Structure 1
């Protein structure tokens, strides 16, 4: 199998063109450079080929959304048929009903669904739904957790040791220059896995909180599992103070056939979904209790929360999502879990063998490597100082030179086309990195 051998000839040319039309030469801040971005020509299964002909095992999978890998045949066939019928209509289609039925049948607590175009929109409308239902305006969220590009959801996302404040009562820090001070005042920031602080802050602010939004295993926050006592405390404090619980499963819905919340004892009022439910096309969804979702109900006139969107529930995303989700059966999750366990265990063995100051976190088909000896419990513990950040960049670059796309500072993901040989290759590449860099920590 061909691996990456040379970099940047045609990608450099593409990047030069891009710098003439994009502010920094890229269209997304999440694009990684090595030292220029890799421009992709095609993808098939779990592999990518860039414009220079280099092949990569793809552990990014468009930020975990491609659970079946690239050019998944059932999705390609479904989209081909739908494109011949039309790409979008102002009227509803049967495909949106079918995908909503699947989600309602599969995901606990999802009694009604509303489709949007991205995970960001799903979070945006879930927060608005909580406000409309409770009549309150504030929300609580967890430090470092990513919930899309919505002002209130971005508070505390990029906190640093210089501004994150008291460990028991984190500061509400802005994500970008010019973020309104009023937004900061309407967000209570909590620390993931801190049961006592969550219970206390939820009680103090509970009378004004519409919702607390929680990712059951925040990728940007360290991809660490929630402690049972933390989930219990969060649920209890929310219930006692009339605060809705929003589970952001845009990324972590892929943790099981029924999603992530059910794995950790979280019983949300609303769930945001995206990524895997679109089969590789743009999508987002809000699901939840029927009484809460009734804020979208326009059958008797103007709803408490009007929500539209030119491309919401478009038949291409609905059709692709339905094909992908129908093939994501229980057997597929057994396969994915097995691969994920194999990779995490193999990486842990390599760390032990070389006595390296690294650790691995994650669950199901997800994993994340940290340049620290002890697994973090939350964002602050996972935060990378400059030397650690340099080590992670070295790791990502080593993987790229070895023919593997490894995300920096986020979740790496397995996909259904992968096999044991792919998992063994990932482990071997990581062991090779530790072997070649052992002088850095000995």
Structure 2
């Protein structure tokens, strides 16, 4: 499904959904609370319904093709319909999709991951990133005997109460800079959850050290995404990483590196990229080859809390579809194709794209900046790249600009996530990079791109 040959020469604005997507959304509203089954589905005002995909592009039900920079929230690092995955999955479908018994495929995928990632000595498979984070936190509690958890302000770690406490943070409720407030994510969240949550600001080394020391006796772990997507897709500063790690280690607080999304930042993951040596990891998305998956792993000593060889473990963990053969073989095929050369190529494309976007903003004298690394990038409606969630937080005017930009990209054949990480995939090449930069330049030339006003 290649890009149309005249795509780079055609800039148009048509924000209305296709008739088939509109029809499907009307049907969906009769069975789902808001017409969708995921809060993350973007609508403007109607979701764009997918009919299929090939490589870097997906086709909607109205026949339009789009360059996909969402890739199911960064999951599809090989794009749509990746042949090695499709081939092994087709064969497995005829042999069985799930069993109450282990399979050889789970050993193969687990071995690949443990051999590739430093500090990842033992691993357990689950079904989602949320499950992986949940069991990592439970493992930290079981190992340390403590219950409280520290998280990074604004970071996303799934739908487990103790890591949701800053997902609703705004300037109205996030509290002082040196002591961020835990904020309820939903109505009815138990107050006890807030009492067991400590919130740290990303890249604030002194603040993190102070809060960890003040809460050391009750903290089981710090959960950190080395490059938190929703908190700005900002790189960690070396001083912050070293301060966090040294303090946590001295106080007996475990470090959980949540790489469900950021594992795609390098051949050995994001912790290795930024010099972090975690006690536990959480993985997901790209390790499943496009199928549901999650994993929790880490040091042998800590992972022993799952050990059933001597009876009931300190932490029981199961799951009907955990380590199912479809996800295992798909993940293995995807990860085997992600060799060092594949990551280096993606990084080179990402560097070229980020540079191109930055230069476009500079030439237009437009107040935009770019963050990210490797195959991830994010455009900010701010002249200076943010260092943390508070700096990345969009004002109402900035949020309108981002919505307009996302709409502009979609209307010109590119799916650009609104307010989250965008990603590249292995089927992309120089033509796709040029296309993205070209559409961004066209957006900057509009009134909306220059002033943040409605198109």
| Fold similarity call, TM over 0.5 | yes
Deviations 1:201-229 (A, max 9, x none): 00000111000000000000000000000
Shift of 1:7: 3.2
Preserved contact between residue 357 and residue 441 of structure 1 (Cα < 8 Å): no
Preserved contact between residue 8 and residue 36 of structure 1 (Cα < 8 Å): no
Cα separation, partners in 2 of 1:439 and 1:274, compared to 1, 3 Å: closer
The counterpart of 1:89, out of the listed 99, 102, 110, is: 99
Deviations 1:386-437 (A, max 9, x none): 0000000000000000000000111000000000000010000000000123
Paired with 2:203 and 2:151, the residues of 1 have a C-alpha distance of 12
Tell me the secondary structure at the aligned position of residue 285 of structure 1.
strand
Paired with 2:223 and 2:344, the residues of 1 have a C-alpha distance of 29
Deviations 1:127-164 (A, max 9, x none): 00000000000010011000000000101122011110
Q: Is residue 2:334 matched to residue 1:324?
A: yes
Paired with 1:326 and 1:209, the residues of 2 have a C-alpha distance of 37
Shift of 1:237: 1.1
The counterpart of 2:34, out of the listed 15, 18, 24, is: 24
Tell me the secondary structure at the aligned position of residue 49 of structure 1.
strand
Shift of 1:35: 1.6
Cα separation, partners in 2 of 1:355 and 1:308, compared to 1, 3 Å: same
Structure 1 residue aligned with 2:451: 440
Paired with 1:199 and 1:10, the residues of 2 have a C-alpha distance of 54
Show the 5 A alignment for 1:4-403: 7-403=17-413
Deviations 1:115-136 (A, max 9, x none): 0000000000000000000000
Over the aligned positions, Cα root-mean-square deviation in angstroms equals 1.1
Paired with 2:305 and 2:257, the residues of 1 have a C-alpha distance of 18
Structure 2 residue aligned with 1:410: 420
Paired with 1:217 and 1:300, the residues of 2 have a C-alpha distance of 38
Tell me the secondary structure at the aligned position of residue 136 of structure 1.
coil
Shift of 1:441: 6.5
- TM, length-normalised to structure 2: 0.96
Tell me the secondary structure at the aligned position of residue 85 of structure 1.
coil
Paired with 1:183 and 1:435, the residues of 2 have a C-alpha distance of 47
Shift of 1:8: 2.0
Tell me the secondary structure at the aligned position of residue 358 of structure 2.
helix
- TM, length-normalised to structure 1: 0.99
Paired with 2:171 and 2:361, the residues of 1 have a C-alpha distance of 28
Paired with 1:158 and 1:415, the residues of 2 have a C-alpha distance of 30
Preserved contact between residue 149 and residue 220 of structure 2 (Cα < 8 Å): yes
Preserved contact between residue 151 and residue 183 of structure 1 (Cα < 8 Å): yes
**Runs of at least 5 residues in structure 2 that lack an aligned partner in the other structure:** none
Preserved contact between residue 61 and residue 67 of structure 1 (Cα < 8 Å): yes
- The count of corresponding residues between Structure 1 and Structure 2 is 442
Paired with 2:344 and 2:249, the residues of 1 have a C-alpha distance of 34
Tell me the secondary structure at the aligned position of residue 166 of structure 1.
coil
Tell me the secondary structure at the aligned position of residue 53 of structure 2.
strand
Tell me the secondary structure at the aligned position of residue 216 of structure 2.
helix
Deviations 1:58-110 (A, max 9, x none): 00000000000001000000100111110000000000000000000001110
Cα separation, partners in 2 of 1:29 and 1:441, compared to 1, 3 Å: closer
Shift of 1:439: 4.7
Preserved contact between residue 346 and residue 425 of structure 2 (Cα < 8 Å): yes
Paired with 2:404 and 2:120, the residues of 1 have a C-alpha distance of 42
Tell me the secondary structure at the aligned position of residue 286 of structure 1.
strand
